[in-house]
């Protein structure tokens, strides 16, 4: 009897590639047929190509609500066609907006993994159609019988020590020596549907000036940087970003995902944004790994004061190593959880 399964995964954002990449490797090693669907957004296609993964791009990101609506129809119809050709037994995604309706029409289970509560519109049009919704325990909303909480963070599947070991050699392309103190700054483009009216850093020049008092500043930006800030821009391969982040003294930025990534790597993070997340709140409340500066008026000056305290304390690295050890001892292997959960639903859908 053939035990191989036909699994589809929709990867529409760079973070989704990282979330699924180790599960995909496990499925392929077990002989399963994995269909990877993709979207041309930021570095998503570059990451898939760098990893040597064959994929089918169904849409390109569009701006504005009308553009997103057009893309929703385009991408979802592409998913519907691809699932039929592949004869998929299950489809999984983060967020799930592009897969839930297509899977429902095909009569196959759609498994949605998500940690972003304030993506209200996409959640409203996705969750009622999804088969099962998997969230970290920190997720604030109660989604009823469809929800399954797991003891971990959405960044753990690719940063858990079972799957990731930071390589200090990756610092060379940034002209940083191992042990040299630097702050990793992340700026986002604010193009996602849940980013409307949000903001974070208001004066990047002031931020760079303050952080530079404690060592190098390395900037990763979704939007192009002004010419006079190019000297701070990260230059390495897109897939090496976590190797670099792991050696930073501090993360400072507008990305909740990257603040959590820093925490999973043992690096303290400062998350500066008008919006907030349940998982960054938990990382602050339970583990003291992230410091949140959120609300209607993201408090940039207070965030910089916090950064000054952390970067001035010679004991800071040891303190956060200990906090990180405690945190990791309480988390599951999320990649194993993803792989086994998706396989179980695929088998159930065909009676294996």
Q: What is the pLDDT of residues 293-323, one digit of tens each?
A: 987 666 889 999 999 999 999 999 999 999 9
Strand stretches in 222-302, DSSP E: 250-253, 269-272, 290-293
Q: Stretch 45-71: mean pLDDT, rounded?
A: 92
Q: Is 256 helix (H, G, I), strand (E, B) or coil?
A: helix
Block residue for tokens 């200990």: 322
Q: What is the pLDDT of residues 132-152, one digit of tens each?
A: 999 999 898 888 999 999 999
- The two tokens of residue 75 are 């991408």
- Give, as one character, the DSSP assignment of residue 249: S
Evaluate whether 16 touches 208 at the Cβ level (below 8 Å): no
The pTM score is 0.86
Say how many C-beta atoms besides its own lie within 10 A of residue 151's C-beta: 13
Secondary structure of 52-92 in HEC code, one letter for each residue: CCCCEEEEECCCHHHHHHHHHHHHHHHHHHHHHHHCCCEEE
Alpha-carbon distance of 19 to 155, in angstroms, equals 7
The confidence score (pLDDT) of residue 121 equals 81
What separation in angstroms does the CA of 62 have from each of 89, 107, 122, 222, 341? 30, 29, 15, 15, 32
pLDDT at 16 > cutoff 80? yes
The confidence score (pLDDT) of residue 117 equals 77
Q: What is the pLDDT of residues 201-238, one digit of tens each?
A: 889 999 999 999 999 999 999 889 999 999 999 999 88
- The two tokens of residue 316 are 């800071």
The confidence score (pLDDT) of residue 80 equals 98
The confidence score (pLDDT) of residue 297 equals 61
In sequence order, the 6+-apart residues with CB closer than 8 A to the CB of 101 are 76, 129
- The two tokens of residue 83 are 């699932």
Structural domains for the chain = 6-159+332-350 (3.40.50.2000), 168-329 (3.40.50.2000)
- The two tokens of residue 319 are 């303190």
199 falls in which pLDDT band (50, 70, 90)? low
Burial class (CB in 10 A: 0-12, 13-18, 19+), 31: exposed
Per the prediction, the chain carries an average pLDDT of: 92
pLDDT at 17 > cutoff 50? yes
Burial class (CB in 10 A: 0-12, 13-18, 19+), 235: exposed
Q: What is the pLDDT of residues 328-347, one digit of tens each?
A: 999 999 999 999 999 999 99
């Amino acid at each position: 009897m053939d035990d191989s399964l036909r699994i589809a995964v929709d990867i529409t954002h760079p973070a989704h590639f990282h979330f699924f990449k180790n599960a995909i490797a496990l499925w392929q090693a077990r002989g399963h047929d994995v269909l990877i669907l993709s979207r041309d957004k930021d570095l998503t296609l570059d990451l898939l190509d760098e990893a040597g993964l064959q994929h089918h791009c169904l849409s390109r990101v569009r701006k504005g609500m009308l553009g997103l609506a057009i893309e929703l129809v385009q991408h979802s119809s592409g998913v519907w066609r691809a699932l039929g050709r592949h004869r998929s037994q299950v489809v999984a995604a983060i967020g799930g907006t592009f897969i839930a309706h297509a899977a429902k029409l095909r009569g196959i289970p759609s498994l949605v993994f998500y940690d972003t509560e304030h993506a209200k519109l996409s959640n409203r049009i996705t969750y009622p159609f999804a088969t099962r919704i998997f969230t970290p325990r920190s997720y604030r909303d109660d989604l009823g019988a469809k929800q399954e909480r797991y003891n971990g963070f959405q960044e753990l599947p690719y940063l858990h020590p079972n799957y990731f070991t930071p390589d200090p050699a990756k610092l060379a392309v940034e002209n940083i020596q191992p042990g040299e103190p630097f702050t990793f700054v992340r700026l986002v483009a604010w193009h996602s549907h849940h980013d409307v009216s949000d903001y974070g850093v208001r004066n990047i020049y002031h931020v760079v000036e303050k952080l530079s008092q404690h060592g190098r500043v390395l900037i990763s930006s979704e939007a192009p940087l002004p010419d006079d800030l190019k000297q701070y821009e990260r230059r390495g391969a897109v897939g090496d970003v976590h190797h670099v982040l792991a050696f930073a003294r501090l993360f400072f930025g507008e990305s909740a995902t990257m603040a959590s990534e820093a925490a999973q790597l043992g690096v303290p993070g400062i998350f500066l944004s008008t919006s907030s997340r349940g998982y960054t709140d938990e990382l602050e409340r339970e583990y003291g790994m992230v410091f949140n500066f959120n609300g209607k008026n993201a408090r940039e000056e207070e965030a910089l004061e916090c950064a000054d305290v952390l970067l001035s304390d010679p004991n800071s690295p040891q303190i956060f190593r200990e906090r990180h050890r405690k945190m990791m001892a309480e988390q599951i292997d999320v990649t194993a959880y993803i792989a086994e959960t998706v396989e179980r639903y695929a088998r159930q859908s065909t009676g294996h």
